[in-house]
Amino acid sequence: MPELIIKNGKFYRNGIEEGPEIGSVEQINCLKETNRKNEEAKKSIGVDTDYECTTTGTAEFRCVCGEKVYYEVEFEGTPDDDDCFVGKAKTCRVCGRRYEFEFDADYKLIAKMTK
Ligand SMILES: [Zn+2]
């Protein structure tokens, strides 16, 4: 059976809308999974990047605890975007939360909480 998804608050399967069914385990699970993904997205924090010179890139963002987290990466050559940060991780020195840099859907660098 094709997967059930939620779009604009409605259930769809194969592009066809399905009315809500009271007690439907599949719909409840679908709703839970959608909420979980939304919660996860809220943990992604915008990042400001800067390139001091041609070999060092810096990124900073504010941890959810309020601490400013600063990250510096060395790279070879000249980056034309924030690629050099992607996949790198940084732990907040105050609260110990761990973040990983990645691009969001708009190709904007974000720090995603992993712990
Ligand atoms: Zn923190």
State what percent of residues in the chain have pLDDT above 90.
Answer: 32
pTM for the model stands at 0.52
Q: Is 28 helix (H, G, I), strand (E, B) or coil?
A: helix
Q: Label residue 35 by pLDDT band (50, 70, 90).
A: confident
Calculate how far, in angstroms, residue 17's C-alpha sits from the geometric centre of ligand 1. Answer: 42
Residues with CB under 5 A from ligand 1 (ion): 63, 65, 67, 92, 94-95, 97
Q: Which residue has the tokens 């969001």?
A: 104
Calculate how far, in angstroms, residue 107's C-alpha sits from the geometric centre of ligand 1. Answer: 25
Q: Which long-range contacts (CB under 8 A, 24 or more apart) does 7-16 make?
A: none
Candidate from 36-45, 48-57, 93-102 with smallest mean pLDDT = 48-57
Calculate how far, in angstroms, residue 92's C-alpha sits from the geometric centre of ligand 1. Answer: 5
Residue 73 in contact with residue 56, Cβ under 8 Å? yes
